[in-house]
Amino acid sequence: MSEEIVARRLNVRFDGRSALEDIDVRIPVPSVTIIIGPNGAGKSTFLRTLIGSVRPASGSVEVLGMDPATKSDQVKRAVSYVAQKERFSYPVPIKVSEVVMMGLLVDKAIPRVHGKVDDRKVADALHVVDMDSYFDAPFDRLSGGQQQRVLLARSIIRKPKLLLLDEPFNAVDVLTQCAIIEHLQRLRNSGVGILLVTHDSNPLARITEYVMVLDKRLVGFGPPRAVLKQEVLAQVYGGAAKVLDGEPCPYVVLGDIHA
Amino acid sequence: MSLARTSFWVIYMLDLLAPFLVRAYVAIVLSAAAAAAGAVAVLRGVSYLPAEASHAALGGVSIAVFLGFILSVDLDPFYFAILFSACSAVLVAYAGGRLDRDAINSALGGVMAVSLAVYALLRALVPANMKTVIDGYLIGDILILTTKDLIQLGVTVLVAVFFEVLFYHEIMYICFDAEGAEAMGIRVKFYDYLMFFLMGLSGGLMAKVFGSLLVFALVMAPAAAARMFSSNVKNYLINTTLLTVSLGFLGLFVSIVLNLPSSGVIAGFTSAAYILSLAYSKAVRQK
């Protein structure tokens, strides 16, 4: 099985409008890759194309050697995706443990019965994201950051080879953000690939291996030092983007908003 | 005091095991099981769907009665009612696409308009004695259900409950986070259609028992009330069912004592329960 994500002349359209144009990219797995770009740049669309939820208009994608369009089930078993979500809108009374249990039960046969071993796995997954004391807590009583951590636990309990995260730091305070980044680092070290959409690359500077800059088309891809350059970012953010040299990689300031 | 004494004597004099009452008890229990579909509708964000589907039942019944009239055959309106209700709900799911609320609301309105238009048109074309069959689905009476009605209701409720129990996890996951469920490999579109079908079926059943005008009070009100004191989905479904049974029996006995229409009194109790639970929930939140 090829350990990479490959897009070849990938085009995606919604209602005749282009969302992604001629994307050619090869992302090694495992790695930590961040996707940046302005609103409407196709960042979320790219992630959703990788799990087969969005079909390419032309071109192709390959995830870990599989085509998501034809092998959607296999791809979804190997890849965990956490959608962009600040709050859940529907009034479903559900406990934290039940949310995480979803990650286990979806791979079991209907009627998806769970046992004590599964409860232990859920507790372990919650421990990884420092939420073990919230096992029986109602999910809708948690803060945005805590919810994000629970969703992360739901993703990692499936032991994915690749984790796709769409803006995981929305509504997350700095401390929680640091905790999540720690967990991502540990996952990366254990061989999990991480592809993450964000508006702020700076908090992830310590663990980022590749940066993908999107603005419907691929503006840049490569290690942070090769991509986070004034001339590259100017193509998507105009003069508002400023790149400050730093360690371990450059920092980006977009007006007064980080990119 | 005199009301209490009268009530005591009415219940004392009444044979609580009279066949028409036993049939009403069974109908209340079956309706409570069907009301769980109302709870699913609340969770899925389409609370109005069972009520809309029950109105669609009117269109189905009208077609059955009209066809029976012009073809001189005996067609059972019940099957037309539940089929029309369930199909209209599936049509709403199809028209609503990815559960966009505006699209769902437009589809609900459109399907209800078509059903009521069919009802109004065909009702006018059949003789007066046949109109009563159609009107029975508009304002039902739980006390005149026959054993055959109960068997039909029972089988349909069993089918609906079987699928709800079998696919409990899928239903819960999709209601909670459809996008996440799809990303984990659950076939959201298939289960959504199934869910809408079962909600429609339940709406049609309730129209048969209580009449479509009262379905909103009997399906949505207990579900909305139970939501305010339920901590997880399983409890919520059980609470909705228990609340519907309790209020159903309470309303039935009160209606007998006061000599009032049973369906209306039961609907009055479920509506009151909803208003009280809403007030309680607001008061608790303000503390």
Verify whether the Cβ–Cβ distance B185 to A76 is below 8 Å: yes
**B152-155 long-range contacts, Cβ below 8 Å, gap at least 24?**
B152/B78, B152/B208, B153/B27, B153/B30, B153/B205, B153/B208, B153/B209, B154/B26, B154/B30
| Residues in chain A closer than 8 A to B230 (CB atoms) | 93
The larger pLDDT score, comparing residue B40 to residue A246, is at B40
Q: What is the pLDDT averaged over residues A34-51?
A: 93
B-proximal residues of A, 42-101, CB under 8 Å: 51, 53, 72-73, 76-77, 80-83, 85, 88-95, 98-99
Structurally, how many domains does chain A consist of?
Answer: 1
What is the DSSP annotation of B245-282? HHHHHHHHHHHHHHT--HHHHHHHHHHHHHHHHHHHHH
User: B1 pLDDT band (50/70/90 cuts)?
Assistant: low
B43, B185, B186 member nearest A77 (Cβ) = B185
Helix (DSSP H) and strand (DSSP E) numbers for chain A = 8, 12
Structural domains of chain B ordered from first start: 2-286 (1.10.3470.10)
| Residues in chain B closer than 8 A to A166 (CB atoms) | none
The 10s digit of each residue's pLDDT in A110-164 is 888 888 899 999 999 998 888 989 999 999 888 888 888 899 899 989 899 999 9
Residue range of the domain that includes A137: 4-258
Verify whether the Cβ–Cβ distance B175 to A112 is below 8 Å: no
Mean pLDDT of chain A: 88
C-alpha A180 chain-centroid distance: 12
Non-local (6+) Cβ contacts of A178 within 8 A are: A203
The 10s digit of each residue's pLDDT in B167-225 is 999 999 988 888 889 889 899 899 999 999 999 998 998 898 888 888 888 888 899 89
Cα–Cα distance, A61 to A7 (Å, whole number): 4
The larger pLDDT score, comparing residue B214 to residue B269, is at B269
Prediction pTM value: 0.84
Q: What is the pLDDT averaged over residues A211-217?
A: 95
Verify whether the Cβ–Cβ distance A93 to B235 is below 8 Å: yes
CATH of the domain at A150: 3.40.50.300
**A41 interfaces chain B, CB cutoff of 8 Å:** no
B-proximal residues of A, 199-238, CB under 8 Å: none
Non-local (6+) Cβ contacts of A63 within 8 A are: A5, A50, A51, A75, A78, A79, A162
| Residues in chain A closer than 8 A to B166 (CB atoms) | 110-111
Predicted pLDDT at A90: 55
Verify whether the Cβ–Cβ distance B167 to A83 is below 8 Å: no
CA-based nearest distance A246→chain B, Å: 37
The larger pLDDT score, comparing residue A15 to residue B242, is at B242
Verify whether the Cβ–Cβ distance A111 to B235 is below 8 Å: no
